[in-house]
Amino acid sequence: MSAVSDRLPTFPWDKLEPFKATAAAHPGGIVDLSVGTPVDPVPDLIQKALVAAADSPGYPTVWGTPELRDALVAWCERRLGARDFTHRNVLPVVGSKELVAWLPTQLGLGPGDRVAYPRLAYPTYEVGARLARADHVSYDTETFAAAAAGTDLDPVGLKLLWLNSPSNPTGRVLSLQELTRIVAWAREHGILVFSDECYIELGWEADPVSVLHPDVCGGSYEGIVSVHSLSKRSNLAGYRSAFLAGDSAVLGDLLQIRKHGGMMTSAPTQAATVAALSDDTHVQEQRARYTARRTALQDALLAHGFRIEHSEASLYLWATRDEPCWDTVAHLADLGILVAPGDFYGPAGDKFVRVALTATDERVGAAVARLT
């Protein structure tokens, strides 16, 4: 068996530690905009649902309670425009990162199989392929989504195609037309599509569309699955609440594998998820907080000489000063502001930084003051 270091890349966040120390030494304290982890309180109705389910001595089921599956189906129909959904079209998972990292393995992929993901992307897509010892390849989202979808991506041996809209890190949103072309191309070549839509509730200058929308998939979910998380929309990163929706055959196979693996969402988390998906008010309230922070940070970065690309959705600003990203990281660290270097997400990001909106109003205000 090969060493872990041979199978996996270096964990990128370890490289930020010296810059974190520099930022922390600022007289006004660090403003950490490097990680997209929620800082606002878990809504009260969700906390109450969790507490009410605290006396759960028995094992939960991998499939989830009927109440949870009802809530997942209802949300997909209400929010994503899905039609004719049933309990077989949804599956809870223990946070979306676990799913991304282990999906190729659970699908039975291995040497000779290929996994594709955007060239600017969440690093765990590559990690998942590496864990399965499958081959991995990245593609240019804009070229791939153009009218001749797929022309820059060889379909031979390609078993899993990751989409990410809205994108982490760039905030780019695939249009309905782009998604439709990609889904049609993947179906033509028998390629399974998994669409990471964890930021779909956070569109600012665009209205993100799901691959499950009938105008995209034609009313059939064959060969497509979307991935959703409550971490960002409901501040539930600590609860590890996420789910899959789409092709019932694919989810049925994953269900059997996950049963054997004991991959169960805790019973209190299932109850909290029901409460969270049944309420839209707290989502709008959280959106308002992020809108204010986004506007303040965007204006400050522009005034400081940055250019911002895409960023029409998600919880990040994709910003550049047209210099090596680590120079930008160092410059901002001297101001007590920590951001993520763009090359964490692929070589194409080597002149960008990702600036998260996930800091308190007070810390965002401090960052704005230092930038302006």
Residue pLDDT, tens place only, 181-190: 999 999 999 9
| 67: CB partners within 8 A, 6+ apart | 270, 271, 274
| Of residues 233, 245, 160, 163, the one with CA closest to residue 203 | 233
Domain pair 4-41+282-371 / 45-277, same fold: no
Residue spans of the chain under pLDDT 70: 1-6, 9, 147-151
Name the pTM for this structure.
0.95
Cβ burial, residue 159 (10 Å; 0-12/13-18/19+): buried
| Fold classification of 45-277 (topology level) | Aspartate Aminotransferase; domain 2 (3.40.640)
Q: What is the pLDDT of residue 341?
A: 98
Q: What is the pLDDT of residue 152?
A: 74
CATH number of the 4-41+282-371 domain: 3.90.1150.10
Q: Annotate 103-170 with DSSP letters as a single string.
A: HHHHTT--TT-EEEEESS--THHHHHHHHTT-EEEEE-HHHHTSTTTTTTS--TTEEEEEEESS-TTT
Q: What is the pLDDT of residue 153?
A: 87
Q: What is the pLDDT of residues 16-33, one digit of tens each?
A: 999 999 999 999 999 999
Tell me the domain boundaries of the chain: 4-41+282-371, 45-277
